[in-house]
Structure 1
């Protein structure tokens, strides 16, 4: 290994946590070892259970390029970097929601293997020699005796390969093969000059993204290209190169070769690999460092910054450095252009993103307080889709709609940004764009991945009868056509839109959507005390078992989803017979769920397991991740404090490849949730009311400092924070008592000191 790389990692080696399987100590951080937040991140977390877009290493925050090794490539689930697989199949540049592309593997060949290499190319590797940190990946390919190092800028991948001496060095480009969620096809690679290659491929359609997407790339090497050979059977390419030390820049674009080349020219005008690693670490450290924690165990600190790292990656840039972006929302492909500022730079980036389903309890709060600049960009990206295609998406991919999940999940996200003063311009036009999704011909009429009809969302029944029937009588048109969940989701999202209508003085719209927000009551059966599906004739689902999974409820059971009323917990409690009965009911659910660790196993697929599917509360998927803080609304903050901290210990404290998020970490949602629960901050309605409330929970760390983008700091002190100190005895903000256990956004962003007194017993007050 090079001396420079040894220097780059000497602190990491000394702290024993970035290499291979991590068995971490619970001892306190040694004060003399001052590790930056980026050096505390453990990228291998939960990689035994990861999916195509889950893992990241050589990537910048929200980078177009997410360069990392693939040990499994067959399917969206169980693919990408899987820790238990010991064979590398290639280094891919695109690991995104419904997108994959540009796999390359350095190899060595002789006269025989250069013929067979196209089908026999995989190489063993060992975690013992592997090094992984945000922005960098080092791995040794045992079969070839090659050391490979990867890093990146936002749109360009950087490779450094050291080849053995006895065989010819070459690069295998697998441009025509299955890669994660889809096939790569029509791949073309050509030599431009002695040190430059260019090409393109088609990221073929999927059920979730029914239009193919083109990927263009521009490649520069520091050594000569000796020969380029295409295999007739596979259509893939072998590029022989000169020299044993090879550097390679790979710029990508979804618009053109020229823009791929320009991305490289603009972002990497040099060949200093160490400088790119350093810049990547600095960029990550700047974002992670907006929250500084003190105290806690070594494992707790590492897990906190790993959670925060997850909250800042996964969703991917698709616009070029000059603001060009792919638009597939119409009948024909077009190259769009983002608005530019006075200096000629794009005002925001355009994004590929999984759904915002569940973001009301995660990204809304974390981004809205600590990363408003990121939240603003995503809002304007969502609005750009509306300008191009007529609808605000809930999960766009490749410049088009995917209709992933259900409802209008972008509404609370955007409304929260407005209520927090992050987005302040053109509010009337934003409201009109959001309102369209809540009316006929809007996105609420489409259920999961329903591309060709406006039926599966059951929206016309919601308008006519106040609920979505289960089953939907028109038939099956998409996934997630679960009527009770759809009704509850629409009702909550209607409430959030009503808050924006109120802000803008649209009183009739406010009354209209507030009335619709009560529709959740139409699927609550007072005779059994649970949310319960109804058929088209208004009959309750017979032989109802609230613990049956996806029986009228999306990715959940009725027991979990009964509490999905973020806007009116008090009204829900009335239906249950009062707050006392609601508390008893939810407390029993938590007690029972604790026996199974509060999750449906350790992976999303386990929710289908006969035992795991019956868990009463599931912190491995979005529908019930708010439930600990429901106790605040029921007048029992002590139970909110106890159960939220217990969930953190059981669900969000592990630090190994075998555990981490226990299910469905949809591009930062569960990482964000873990960060918020550890800080003791939560927003039940997603921060969508005027001057939003932050509910205060039990902080895990003795001290946390949030560096706010406006220059202020929020310091959270909880000197008694310890494993068994869950309960708030007293809390003050800037020296004044906080009796209601919440603070408003306008007060928090001014900064100040939040002082907790915690104990191992509830307060007697």
Structure 2
């Protein structure tokens, strides 16, 4: 009897232990998708999406414009579930209905409550109050999967919208045809925008798990049952089902190539109807990405915010190539079908991508992706080179196979150079060098201002080459956006320096000399009298009057006080211009003291950045131009100030966990999410990691232990561990540091040290050094 009791207790213990183990939170469970969603823009909020997914399926509460659209937390009704939330692209909005009378109304929006909602990476569940329908959404990479549970009797329906405004795009036309009782195919057209000048088609294939009973559609105001008549900017179709089952499943495959390719994507990626399996597979995939960085210590809120930041670091930039590697090339102005090269097994060697600009990536995804996700970096480099082969230029932000010329300069250069310097070389290096060099010379992308599609004058590049700076205003006139002379000069100089590093690595001494000389042109926009970077006109006269806090007056999404520090490649040279390191540190510290009073940002969202009061701030961690400034102290010999201010910024800007704040500015497709991750683990790269065997500056981690699991396909080490001793909110300074039990004289590690694996131990204190 005693033996039985003993075994029974052992059994209970095992069960209890198993239950506890099951309750251990995975990274995917810690993500808070609602973060900053009250300030959302079209591509910001994601739920039923895989990492870099072609499908980004989620509810839309607001559908008018690129800003303030998509899923907005404080909006009270859902207008549809759409499948593409990308840079300048949208596509195929659907919504389940019941007993909807198309003749009496076209208003389909349904109220909903967050109390009846579950949102996780890869999954969204919401209850449509108007229709008494529980909707569940998940996806594969290229296929959206819907599960609708109807809680009341009636005619079950699904609306497929083929026209109308949808986020950044007017869906100008569409079509739909029936292939079987369960299957429909068609397309929608994203109308041109000022940023994406070419109309862009999206093709779809829709498959239901039950046969369609009836079809009714509309075109403008005309009701019809003939699918061929359904077209135009205000059109759509409602398909109906019998009420024999309360559950309806729907799969939607998309493609930028053709209807046949949309069907191929659907059948290749989702050949079954097991919704729970796809949902769990999505969780597992997100966990595999998020768990590459393991953290210990900090509060639960700190940990949840960290994995939310890491999740955002993998968002926004989208796959546009199909399962078999087919893709749409729009670089010529025409829709051409191309093929990604295949490996020996017949699989595409890489994916093709849609992406916002890499403007600011040198301080964000350059470091995070290249170290933690090198295979993603390699795919993106190969995708950029595919654009180069197709259209003649390496892009800085393509959209659906289109060049957009988003933002300024040659922002892809630091990204590609950094990849090469870190040993990520699964691409044609000589082709990359050729394309980057073309971008830095006449005829390249540096000539074009933001969204300058038909001319090449707005970037002021000829003045940069002739006079050593870009004037403001550019005398040729207005050709695009962001024609801000001093900002362009600073960007070009830094990007030239990064290209010089690649030239050095490839033994091209002539280009190395040329680009190194050009990298010093930043000095030509520094005004020694005022002590700031300052606009000057084509004849060399400084702007009068000059106010360093005036926003967008020669400085791109910044003011002169913020942009002055944009010399990441030559901070010693900048300090010399300012009168020496001591004076430079004093000036920068004073700027931080002023910025702290305003929370280090221009308000709590990007829309507030131009506010007359908020914009007068010397350091802004809500946008890219000055997000490196806390680490300037370290490069000038004062790491203690880097540690103090970087911790202060994390606490003020990147610690909240609510829908109304989060990035306090512009989270451009993973840039600010990546920055937050890097500041919290205490790693940074001032020059974007573009020199030979790049250096990492060591900051002030907020966790007790950080374990970065290194990719064995790229790096020899297994893990890089950062361990902190005596860490707390007060102990922000690094008292001593050792790497693999050897003391570090400087808070700096090289790439090959980190990727060999090992342990960095930081003893923390509340005392300045």
Is 2:670 the partner of 1:668?
A: yes
CA contact 2:382–2:427 (8 Å) conserved in 1: no
Aligned to 1:538: 540
Distance in 2 separating the partners of 1:225 and 1:324: 31
* Cα offsets for 1:586-633 (capped at 9, x unmatched): 000000000000000111121110011111100000000000000011
Is 2:89 the partner of 1:99?
A: yes
* Cα offsets for 1:19-38 (capped at 9, x unmatched): xxxxxxxxxxx999520011
Is 2:118 the partner of 1:131?
A: yes
Distance in 1 separating the partners of 2:385 and 2:428: 11
* Cα offsets for 1:310-365 (capped at 9, x unmatched): 00111000000000011000142210100111111111100000000000000000
Could you tell me which of 587, 590, 613 is aligned with 1:588? 590
Distance in 1 separating the partners of 2:463 and 2:472: 11
Aligned to 1:46: 36
Distance in 2 separating the partners of 1:522 and 1:566: 16
CA contact 2:132–2:152 (8 Å) conserved in 1: no
Aligned to 1:158: 145
Aligned to 1:115: 103
Is 2:733 the partner of 1:727?
A: yes
CA contact 1:703–1:719 (8 Å) conserved in 2: no
CA contact 1:219–1:251 (8 Å) conserved in 2: yes
CA contact 2:378–2:427 (8 Å) conserved in 1: no
Matches within 5 A, 1:174-573: 174-233=161-220, 234-242=234-242, 243-423=245-425, 425-573=427-575
CA contact 1:92–1:103 (8 Å) conserved in 2: yes
Aligned to 2:13: none
Could you tell me which of 731, 736, 751 is aligned with 1:745? 751
CA contact 1:192–1:198 (8 Å) conserved in 2: yes
Q: CA deviation at 1:226?
A: 1.2
Distance in 2 separating the partners of 1:275 and 1:32: 18
Distance in 2 separating the partners of 1:129 and 1:676: 35
Is 2:685 the partner of 1:683?
A: yes
Distance in 1 separating the partners of 2:426 and 2:351: 18
Aligned to 1:630: 632
Distance in 1 separating the partners of 2:394 and 2:632: 30
Distance in 2 separating the partners of 1:702 and 1:507: 45
Is 2:641 the partner of 1:649?
A: no
Deviates more, 1:173-182 or 1:418-427: 418-427
Could you tell me which of 145, 148, 156 is aligned with 1:169? 156
Structure 2: gaps (5+ residues): 1-19, 221-233
Structure 1: gaps (5+ residues): 1-29
Query: Taking structure 1 as the reference length, what is the TM-score of the superposition?
Result: 0.95
Distance in 1 separating the partners of 2:104 and 2:400: 34
Q: CA deviation at 1:241?
A: 2.0
User: 2:609 aligns to what SS in structure 1?
Assistant: helix
CA contact 2:485–2:535 (8 Å) conserved in 1: yes
Aligned to 1:23: none
Q: CA deviation at 1:426?
A: 3.0
Aligned to 2:226: none
Aligned to 1:147: 134
Distance in 1 separating the partners of 2:196 and 2:584: 42
Distance in 2 separating the partners of 1:614 and 1:366: 31
CA contact 2:393–2:445 (8 Å) conserved in 1: yes
Distance in 2 separating the partners of 1:190 and 1:289: 43
Distance in 1 separating the partners of 2:612 and 2:427: 50
Query: Taking structure 2 as the reference length, what is the TM-score of the superposition?
Result: 0.94
Q: CA deviation at 1:187?
A: 1.3
* Cα offsets for 1:667-716 (capped at 9, x unmatched): 00000000000000000000000000001011110001000112610111
Distance in 1 separating the partners of 2:614 and 2:480: 25
Distance in 1 separating the partners of 2:142 and 2:198: 23
Distance in 1 separating the partners of 2:162 and 2:314: 29
Distance in 1 separating the partners of 2:81 and 2:759: 46
Distance in 2 separating the partners of 1:670 and 1:228: 46
Distance in 1 separating the partners of 2:21 and 2:341: 48
Aligned to 2:15: none
Aligned to 2:64: 74
The structure-2 alpha-carbon separation of the partners of 1:424 and 1:272, relative to structure 1 and needing over 3 Å to count, comes to closer
Is 2:760 the partner of 1:754?
A: yes
Distance in 1 separating the partners of 2:169 and 2:334: 21
Q: CA deviation at 1:494?
A: 0.1
Distance in 1 separating the partners of 2:219 and 2:494: 55
Distance in 2 separating the partners of 1:747 and 1:671: 25
Aligned to 1:56: 46
Distance in 2 separating the partners of 1:168 and 1:602: 45
Aligned to 2:26: 36
User: 2:82 aligns to what SS in structure 1?
Assistant: strand
CA contact 1:456–1:481 (8 Å) conserved in 2: yes
Distance in 1 separating the partners of 2:166 and 2:726: 50
Deviates more, 1:294-303 or 1:228-237: 228-237
Moved over 3 A (4+): 30-33
Aligned to 2:6: none
Aligned length: 731
Q: CA deviation at 1:114?
A: 3.1
The structure-2 alpha-carbon separation of the partners of 1:244 and 1:328, relative to structure 1 and needing over 3 Å to count, comes to same
Distance in 1 separating the partners of 2:182 and 2:169: 30
CA contact 1:44–1:656 (8 Å) conserved in 2: yes
Distance in 2 separating the partners of 1:759 and 1:332: 61
Aligned to 1:706: 708
Distance in 2 separating the partners of 1:98 and 1:301: 32
Distance in 2 separating the partners of 1:331 and 1:599: 40
User: 2:383 aligns to what SS in structure 1?
Assistant: helix
Q: CA deviation at 1:76?
A: 0.2
Distance in 1 separating the partners of 2:626 and 2:533: 13
CA contact 1:217–1:253 (8 Å) conserved in 2: yes
The structure-2 alpha-carbon separation of the partners of 1:702 and 1:31, relative to structure 1 and needing over 3 Å to count, comes to farther
Distance in 1 separating the partners of 2:660 and 2:481: 29
User: 2:586 aligns to what SS in structure 1?
Assistant: helix
Q: CA deviation at 1:419?
A: 0.3
Q: CA deviation at 1:222?
A: 0.5
* Cα offsets for 1:399-433 (capped at 9, x unmatched): 01000000000000000000001025532221111
